[in-house]
Structure 1
């Protein structure tokens, strides 16, 4: 089973992936691509998001990765960041980047079985650090929620599920999905 956990920064992705990996060591863990890109992130940048999108798509290639995996973020996350950044900055010339990023995301989505989305909400509020770019965080969350409902992006590949709740409820919901799919 190939799982991607998606959500904006400070939404609980890494915690869910870590908790799941502890219980299911047979799953390879693919860390957040942000941790793999040799950059410092002072200001949101389209080229940084585009590199992470490509990295997250490439690592989902079945020939490059194990059969059972859980990934902290997928290309859809970085497409959402690009869209949110475009909305916030109105940067000209980003149409082609968004078009190509959408194509890469659509192709990569066909390589996964389950997309788990951790949306922001008032009940499960995880407070980010003060320097976490709150406008980008909110914009990415909105863009991601739109993208998961867009069949031109998700295609017919993965099951898409939103999970909310505290840490233990999120893990229990993910486990129920895994157990349900094993039947």
Structure 2
């Protein structure tokens, strides 16, 4: 199954991907695209564009039946670009945004399960002020709007997970492996 774990920064994506991979060692883990781009300002529009290209391109490399879990997908980076615009921090030209949306939609055609981690106080994640809470909240709102767009999500099943890490992992595991029968 091709899985993308999406959410704003500091919502537990890395923890969920790591915990899932430990329980599912046959899955290939694709790290956060942020780790794969060389940008000085991680919260700039151009950094998000570069990350979006990485996130989209790597999804197209995996065919149906592949066991892969990606931390972040193209919708995450589109959400950051929209959040920057909403906050008046600059973004990209509307024409480029339309091109990026089309590429993201095409890449999402290679995703079976889109796991969304919204901001959730019950997750128990403490975030320092230097994590740009304003951008974090704006990105979360933008992402939740994007995952409602069937033209962007395509045929991917959307699974929104909230609560503490162990509850999120249990729900993801059930979604991937199916329910566990008593005695098995």
Aligned length: 179
Task: Give the equivalent residue in structure 1 for 2:31.
Answer: 31
TM-fit CA distance, 1:92: 7.4
| Per-residue Cα deviation, 1:132-160 (whole angstroms, up to 9, x for no partner) | 111110000000000101112112x2101
Q: Which runs of 5+ in 1 are unaligned?
A: none
Structure 1 outlier segments of 4+, above 4 Å: 63-66
1:70 & 1:133 partners in 2: Cα distance?
27
Q: TM-score, normalised by structure 1?
A: 0.91
The 5-angstrom pairing of residues 14-163 of structure 1 reads 14-41=14-41, 44-62=43-61, 67-89=66-88, 91=90, 94-155=93-154, 157-163=155-161
| TM-score normalised by structure 2 residue count | 0.90
Distance 1:113 1:63, change over 3 A: closer
The 8 Å contact of residues 45 and 91 in structure 2, kept in 1 or not, is answered as no
Distance 1:25 1:92 in 2: 38
Q: What residue in structure 2 maps to residue 178 of structure 1? A: 176
Q: Distance in 2 between matches of 1:63 and 1:16?
A: 21
Which residue does 1:169 correspond to in 2?
167
Q: Distance in 1 between matches of 2:108 and 2:77?
A: 13
- Distance change (3 Å), C-alpha of 1:164 and 1:92: closer
Q: Where does structure 2 lack aligned partners over 5 or more consecutive residues?
A: 180-184
Partner of 1:4: 4
Deviation of 1:162 (Å): 0.1
